[in-house]
């Protein structure tokens, strides 16, 4: 409880805490924006290469091509200076040759953000350097990128827009209009670095360039790595951080707990003041999205404005909810959170519920969400939503899927090992079964074993590689968010928590 109070008090501070990104750090190195830190950045990138010579989480193979190719391209100029760089690049190229099996004629919904724009451009860069990388496995991805570029070409993306987040994959020129109040381009270190290269030598852009350099310095601080130029994949995320941590407390009815009320109330009021008729985004400088908007509405409850639900309706398309306007695939968890938001206002959500029911796998799971790579997270969020829609059969099937996935040690993890965050998601989903006569007998034993695992692993590093499960341009961890879910799950493991 003490740790949770301290965490809630820090929400949004410093723009949020985010794990470092291989792809974005490689992009900064390519642009050589911090020459004094060049050697440290190269060393850091080398340290991130895995034993199979690729970069990225091995349990999510399609999320590995972008950071691997970016690292190869970024390290290539240093191959004659450091023997280990040459070996790393050669190993990375060999790794990419083995990736073809993970790319077919069709694409799933859970590919990394902007990959269809970013990887084709990196392939062109690799080719210009004489690096042999086969493009044929990426045919469907390249075709999707062409379609996306055509859509972007029909509009003029503004600062803080969803399209600006991947500007380095489609943009050109150096318009100052791309710089938002954070000082960066699209809340993306990689896009900001690319813009700084494009704007070199333009004296009229000197103030904007200074702001962009400062943005990258502050983004570096958010990783807590301590190396200038080692940056996250997205920043700032202060509203995202507030929304998801407070949502965890709302799910557990902890917002009014005597120990949390005084520290949570200012955060709730601040979040409520930030909710606009258009919704809310990851920060006040970034475009609004349906996922954060629905989560905030569900969290605020009676503190939300009477017409807050109208903001959510902006993201409704044919009865289901999208995260961003003009996106090509809806998200499972965005619709789950929209159901919770509607329920908080006494409204049913039959069409989003039907969408979720239709997407349930025969084994009871929900897989393939576009914002999180772990089916345990996705399934837990959908279970919490469908429980509000009285979909007992689907909920029971999903609960069975979670029970089957529990490891012998009591934890949960969609990859090679149990992780604290995924175990917390499962524990909280099972906790929701308390009081349900049909589901509680199924859940109680597994819930207790999961709680015991969390108690035994409470000192585990929340930023360990297996916890990089949120989907951005590459997998990442919003450290305070995951830690809050773990602490909340630890709280419900205590017999006296309800008092």
The pLDDT value recorded for residue 496 is: 45
Q: How is 295-312 classified by DSSP, letter by letter?
A: HHHHHHGGGS-TTHHHHH
Q: Could you tell me if 255 and 175 lie in one domain?
A: no
Domain that holds residue 107: 19-223
Among 229, 148, 233, 225, which residue's Cα sits nearest to residue 191?
A: 233
**Residue 296 covered by a domain:** yes
62 vs 78: CA distance, rounded Å? 27
pLDDT of residue 463: 43
- Any domain includes 228: no
Residues 322 and 208 in one domain: no
Amino acid 494: pLDDT:
63
- Measured between alpha carbons, how far is 38 from 134 in angstroms, rounded to an integer? 29
The neighbour count for residue 435, using CB atoms within 10 Å, is: 7
Domain shared by 219 and 244, yes or no: no
Does residue 96 lie in a domain region? yes
Q: What pLDDT is recorded for position 325?
A: 79
Residue 175 confidence (pLDDT): 87
Query: What local confidence, expressed as pLDDT, does residue 498 receive?
Result: 44
Report which DSSP code applies to 342. H
Are 433 and 314 part of one and the same domain? yes
Output the six-digit token pair for 222.
């958010």
* Predicted TM-score (pTM) of this structure: 0.94
Do 178 and 276 belong to one domain? no
Q: What is the pLDDT of residue 202?
A: 93
Task: Tell whether 386 and 285 lie within a shared domain.
Answer: yes
| Spatial separation of the C-alpha atoms in residues 19 and 66, rounded to whole Å | 17
Residue that is last in its domain, among 223, 247, 282 = 223
Q: What is the pLDDT of residue 465?
A: 66
Query: Residue 413 is part of a domain; what is its CATH number?
Result: 1.50.10.20
Count of the separate structural domains present in the chain: 2
pLDDT of the residue at 307: 82
Looking at the DSSP assignment, which residues form a beta bridge with residue 188?
185
One domain for residues 129 and 273 = no
How far apart are alpha carbons 164 and 152 in whole angstroms? Answer: 10
Q: Indicate whether 187 and 257 sit together in one domain.
A: no
> For the chain (length 499 residues), average pLDDT per consecutive 10?
96 96 98 96 97 92 96 96 93 96 85 95 96 94 92 86 95 91 97 97 94 98 97 98 95 89 95 94 96 96 82 92 84 95 89 96 95 96 90 92 95 90 93 77 87 83 68 95 93 58
Domain boundary among 195, 223, 251: 223
Q: What is the pLDDT of residue 109?
A: 79
Q: Is residue 230 part of a domain?
A: no
11, part of any domain? no
CATH of the domain at 122: 1.50.10.160
Chosen domain end from 223, 251, 277: 223
């Amino acid at each position: 409880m003490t740790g949770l109070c301290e965490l809630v008090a820090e929400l949004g501070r410093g723009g949020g805490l985010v794990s470092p990104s291989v792809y974005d750090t490689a992009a900064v190195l390519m642009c050589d924006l911090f020459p004094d830190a060049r050697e440290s950045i190269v060393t850091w990138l080398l340290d991130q290469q895995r034993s199979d010579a690729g970069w990225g989480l091995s349990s999510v193979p399609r999320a590995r091509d972008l950071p691997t190719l970016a690292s190869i391209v970024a390290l290539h100029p240093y191959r004659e200076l450091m023997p280990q760089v040459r070996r790393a690049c050669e190993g990375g190229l060999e790794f990419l040759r083995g990736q073809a099996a993970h790319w077919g004629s069709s694409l799933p919904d859970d590919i990394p953000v902007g990959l269809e724009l970013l990887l084709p451009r990196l392939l062109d860069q690799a080719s210009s350097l004489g690096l042999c990388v086969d493009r044929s496995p990426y045919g469907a991805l390249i075709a999707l990128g062409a379609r996306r570029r055509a859509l972007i070409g029909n509009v003029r993306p503004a600062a803080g827009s969803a399209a600006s987040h991947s500007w380095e994959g489609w943009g050109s020129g150096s318009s100052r209009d791309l710089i938002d109040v954070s000082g960066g381009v699209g809340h993306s270190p990689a896009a900001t670095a690319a813009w700084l290269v494009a704007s070199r030598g333009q004296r009229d852009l000197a103030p904007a360039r200074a702001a962009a350099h400062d943005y990258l310095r502050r983004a570096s601080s958010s990783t807590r790595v301590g190396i200038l130029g080692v940056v996250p994949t997205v920043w700032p995320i202060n509203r995202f951080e507030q929304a998801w941590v407070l949502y965890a407390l709302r799910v557990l009815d902890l917002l009014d707990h005597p120990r949390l009320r005084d520290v949570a109330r200012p955060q709730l009021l601040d979040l409520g003041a930030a909710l606009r008729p258009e919704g809310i985004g990851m920060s006040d400088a970034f475009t609004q999205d349906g996922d954060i908007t629905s989560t905030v509405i569900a969290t605020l409850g009676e503190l939300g404005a009477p017409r807050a639900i109208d903001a959510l309706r902006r993201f409704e398309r044919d009865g289901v909810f999208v995260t961003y306007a003009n996106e090509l695939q809806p998200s499972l968890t965005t619709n789950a959170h929209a159901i919770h938001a509607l329920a908080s206002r006494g409204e049913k959500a039959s069409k989003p519920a039907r969408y979720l029911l239709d997407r349930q796998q025969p084994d009871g799971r929900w897989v393939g969400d576009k914002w999180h790579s772990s089916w345990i997270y996705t399934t837990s969020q959908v279970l919490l939503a469908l429980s509000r829609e009285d979909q007992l059969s689907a909920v029971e099937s999903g609960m069975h899927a979670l029970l089957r996935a529990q490891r012998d040690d009591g934890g949960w993890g969609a990859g090679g090992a149990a992780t604290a965050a995924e175990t917390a998601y499962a524990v909280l989903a099972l906790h929701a079964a308390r009081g349900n006569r049909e589901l509680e007998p199924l859940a109680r034993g597994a819930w207790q074993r999961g709680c015991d695992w969390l108690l035994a692993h409470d000192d585990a590093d929340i930023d360990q590689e297996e916890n990089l499960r949120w989907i951005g341009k590459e997998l990442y961890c919003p450290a305070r968010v995951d830690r809050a879910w773990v602490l909340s799950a630890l709280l419900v493991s205590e017999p006296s928590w309800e008092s």
